[in-house]
Amino acid sequence: MIKNYFKIAWRSLLKNKAFSSINLVGLTIGMAGALLIFTWVQNELSYDQFHTNKTSLYNLWNKSLKNANYPLSCWEITTAAVGPALQQQYPEIRAFTRVYWPTNRLFNYGNQAITANGLDVDKPFLTMFSFPLLEGNPNHALDGIDDIVLTQKLSKKIFGDTDPMNKLVRINTDKNYKVTGVMANLPNNTQFDFEYLVSIEGLKDLKYEEKEWNNNSYNTYIQLQPGVNVDKLNDKIKNIVIQHDTSTRSQVFLYPVSRLHLYSNFENGKEVGGNIETVHLMEIIAALILLIACINFMNMSTARSEKRAKEVGVRKVIGATRSSLIKQFLIESILIAAIAGVLALIVVQLCLPPFNQLTDKNLFIAFGNPYLWLFLIGFILLTGLLAGSYPAFFLSAFKPARVLKGGFKAQDNFVSPRKLLVVVQFTVAIIFMVSTVIIYKQIQYAQDRNAGYAKNGLIEQPINGDINKNYEALKNELINSGVATSVCKTGWSITVDGSNTSGFNWGNMDQSHTQMSFSRYSTTGDFVKTFGLKLIAGRDINVNLYPADTAAMIINQASVKATGLKDPIGQTVLSGGKKIKIVGVIGNFIINSPYEPISPMIILGTKSWVYSLTFRLNPANAVSRNLGLAANIFKKYNPAYPFQYKFVDEEYNEKFKDEVRTGTLAALFAGLTIIISCLGLFGLAAYMAENRSKEIGIRKVLGASVNSIVQLLTKEFVVLVVIAIIIATPISWYAMNKWLQGYSYRISMTWLMFAITAATAIFIAVLTVSSQALKAALANPVKSIKTE
C-alpha cells in the first residue's frame, strides 16, 4: 500500500511539472537556509562542550565591590598570584592553569622563519582541557621551561613531514625550545586559538608578577575536585585578593567554562545572557524561513483544489476513506520534501565556503556522523508533514456528490486561510527588510562618527627583535628617507583598549571616585603628533626631551569631565604612592566600540612599557613606494624579523565587523524570504489567471482594456501586501527599537525607512504578479470562452 502511495505521488508530481517545480524550488531554498542556520547554531551550542572535565572546569573572574557611584562590573583577567594561592589554600581545587593570551613569536628552523601565535600556560593545561596529543605525554610535555607543544598545522609548516619530536627550534632568535608534543589541530568550537603552547614559567616577569596582587594580566582556569559545591566555594574564596592587598576593590568568583561562550555577559554583577540570545534569534529565523517555504506549498496545493476535486470524488466513490486520502497527500508532500532535502544538502555544501567567510567560522557537514542522517530524516519528515498537513485535510474533506456533479468551485472569500498565509509570508519578509535597512543605517551612522584621530596613513608594527635597541636610528631613517612624517612607540595598538586601571587620587576629588576606571596607554613621545590628535591644553609627552615625563601623563577630555578638574595642567595625581604630573589634555578619540561613549583615558610616559611602533606615511609619496622603503629599513635594523605592518584604518574598521555581519545576514534572510514569497505569489497568480480565464475573456469581449484587467488581477495581491505592511510595521519598529537600545550612540528611526521598505515590498509584489496578469489580459478571449 505504501509503495502504491509513492507511485501515485510520483505520477502526480510528473503530471504537474510547473506546480512541482515551484514547490520544489521554494522548499529547497527554505530548507537550505534553515540547514545553514542550524549548522551554525549546532556549532555555537557545542563550544567547549567536548572537554572530558567540562563539569569541573571553571574560569576565575573578578567582580568590583559595591559602590554607590558606579555599577558592579565583572572581568575575566586576573593576577598571576591568585591561581597558586587558591590551590595552596583550598583542597577543593584539584588543579589550575594560568593563560597568557596570545603571544606572537618568531620560529627559526633551518633556513625558514615563521611567526605564530601561541599561549604561555601552566603544566596542567594539557590534562585539564581535552586537546589530544598525537605525540608526547600530556602529563609531562610542559615539564621544562624550554619545552614546546606544537599543533599539527604548525608542525607541518616548520618541519614538513619530518617527525618533530625532541627537535630544537629557535624562538625569537635568542632561545631554543625542544618539541615535546604534537597536538591535533584545534576544533572549530573552542574559545582557545593557538598554534603552540609553552610553559608560563619561562615568562621573564612572572616571578615579579606573582607577588603583585593588583596587576591583572592573566586568565586563570580552575579544575575542582569531584562533588564540590561551587556556590559554597565561591563564598570562601571571594576575598582572597583583598586579603593580600587591602587596596584592591574587587572580589573573585568561579564561572563555568561550559557557559563562557554563550552566557558570560554581566550587568551590575549579574549574568544577563550573551551569545545565547543570538543563537535563539537565529533559531527563530530558521524556523520562519522554513515556515514561509511550507506556506508556499500549502497555498499552491489548496489553489489547485479545483484540479484535484474530481480525483478526490472518484477515489471516495470507489471506497477510499478520508484517512487514506490524507496519507496519500502527506506522502506527496514528504516526497517533495525528500527531493528538496537532497537538493538543499547540495546547495548547503556549495554555500558553506561563502557562509563560513561571512560568519567567520569553519563549519562543515559531517556526512559520516549517523546522528546527522537521523536529524536530516527527521527534518525532512517534519517539513513534509508541516507543509502537507493543511492541504491533506483540506483536499480530503471534499464531498464526492458535489464535486462529481461539477458543482464544486473554489471559494474566494474575503478572508481565507490562503490569504492569511500570504499575509504571514510578506509580514516576515517586510520585517527582515526593515531590519536590514535600520542595521545598515546604524552601521553608517557609527562609521561617519569622528574617530578623534587621523587614522588614514597610519602603519603599526609590533616591537620585536632589535627594534627597541635601534629605535632612534630606525625612526630617523624613516623620516629622513621620506617614508614617514612622524614615528612613535606605544604600549599597544590605538584601536585596542589594552589595559584599564583605577585607584587614582585626583587631589580634592571625592575619595569614592578612586574606583573610577581609566583606559591606560603608554608612550615614549610624539604620541599626539603621530596620531593627529587634538591638543586642548599643555604639551605632548617626550621622555627623551623631558626625562621627568616617565612620571607624567596626558588625559583626555572625558577624564577632565569625570574627575571635575578645573585646571588640570600641572596638577599631581597619586597612584599607589607614586606622583604623576598632568602635562597635557587631548581631545577624545575612539578606542572601544564606536557605538558607545568615549571613556576616561590616561596616556603615561614610559621608557620600557611599549610593544607597538606606529608611523605616519608621507602623503607626498605613493603608499607602495613608502611600504617598499619601510620594509628595507626594518630589514636593516631588525634583520631577524619580517616587516609585519598593519593599516590602522583597516584595524579600526574591524570594530564594525559584528554589525556588518548582522546586517549582511539580515539582508540574506530578507532576500531568501522575498524569493520564497515571490515564488508562491507567482504560482498563485498563475493559477488565479487560469481559473479566471473565462471571466477575463468575457470582460475583454465587453470592452475591458488590458490595463484594467491587469489592475483587477493585481489588486487582490497588493491589498494582501498592504495588510502585511500594516502588521509588520509596529512589530519591526518594536524589535529594532529594542536592538538599538543596546547602543548608546545610535540612530533615530524615521517614517521614511518604513515607507521605503513598504514601497519596495509593493513594487516587488506587483512585479511578480503583473507578468501573469499581463499574460492573461493579452490572451485571445475566443479560446477561453468557447464551449468545451
> Residues 576, 503: contact at Cβ < 8 Å?
yes
Give the residue from 492, 651, 521 showing the smallest Cα distance to 586: 521
pLDDT of residue 470: 93
Number of residues written out for the chain: 788
What is the β-pairing status of strands 601-605 and 518-523? parallel
Q: How far apart are CA 788 and CA 781, in angstroms?
A: 14
Q: Which helix H or strand E contains 174, and what residues bound it?
A: none
pLDDT of residue 400: 63
Match 542556520 to its residue by C-alpha cell: 37
Cell digits of residue 86: 587558591
> Residues 264, 271: contact at Cβ < 8 Å?
yes
Q: Which helix H or strand E contains 619, and what residues bound it?
A: none
Sign of CA dihedral 373, 374, 375, 380: positive
Give the residue from 484, 467, 518 showing the smallest Cα distance to 630: 484
Q: How far apart are CA 167 and CA 165, in angstroms?
A: 5
Give the residue from 664, 758, 667, 765 showing the smallest Cα distance to 715: 765
pLDDT of residue 636: 94
Q: Which helix H or strand E contains 356, and what residues bound it?
A: helix 322-359
pLDDT of residue 512: 55
Q: How far apart are CA 388 and CA 325, in angstroms?
A: 12
pLDDT of residue 416: 67
> Residues 50, 130: contact at Cβ < 8 Å?
yes
Q: How far is CA 418 from CA 299, 363, 425, in A?
A: 6, 38, 11
Sign of CA dihedral 301, 302, 304, 310: positive
> Residues 220, 122: contact at Cβ < 8 Å?
no
Q: Which helix H or strand E contains 772, and what residues bound it?
A: helix 751-778
Sign of CA dihedral 462, 466, 468, 470: negative
Q: How far apart are CA 538 and CA 569, in angstroms?
A: 6
> Residues 601, 555: contact at Cβ < 8 Å?
yes
Give the residue from 160, 227, 158, 223 showing the smallest Cα distance to 195: 158
> Residues 630, 483: contact at Cβ < 8 Å?
yes
Q: How far apart are CA 468 and CA 638, in angstroms?
A: 9
Find all residues with CB under 8 Å of 250, minimum gap 6, and list them.
62, 63, 64, 65, 241, 242
Q: Residue 330: what are its φ and ψ, rounded to 5°?
A: -65, -40
> Residues 637, 400: contact at Cβ < 8 Å?
no
Give the residue from 469, 580, 462, 472 showing the smallest Cα distance to 520: 580
Match 476535486 to its residue by C-alpha cell: 309
Half-sphere exposure of 280 (CA within 13 A, CB side): 7
Give the residue from 670, 686, 533 showing the smallest Cα distance to 614: 533
Give the 3-state DSSP-derived string for 246-294, with helices as H, strands as E and coil as C: CCCCEEEEEEEHHHHHHHEEEECCEEEECHHHHHHHHHHHHHHHHHHHH
Match 611567526 to its residue by C-alpha cell: 115
Residue 555 CA, chain-centre distance (Å), reads 33
Match 605632548 to its residue by C-alpha cell: 540
Cell digits of residue 504: 587614582
Q: How far is CA 397 from CA 123, 311, 412, 493, in A?
A: 71, 12, 17, 70
Calculated CA dihedral for residues 122, 127, 128, 129, nearest 10 degrees: 100
Given a cut of 70, the residues of the chain with pLDDT beneath it are: 1-16, 18, 67-71, 102, 205, 208, 247, 302-320, 322, 391-392, 394-416, 507-515, 576, 690-691, 693, 779, 781-788
pLDDT of residue 788: 45
Strand partners, 182: 135, 150
Q: The whole model's pTM is what?
A: 0.82
What angle, 0 to 180 degrees and rounded to 10, lies between the N-to-C axes of helices 417-447 and 751-778?
A: 140
> Residues 19, 336: contact at Cβ < 8 Å?
no
Q: How far is CA 24 from CA 13, 21, 297, 342, 676, in A?
A: 10, 5, 9, 11, 11
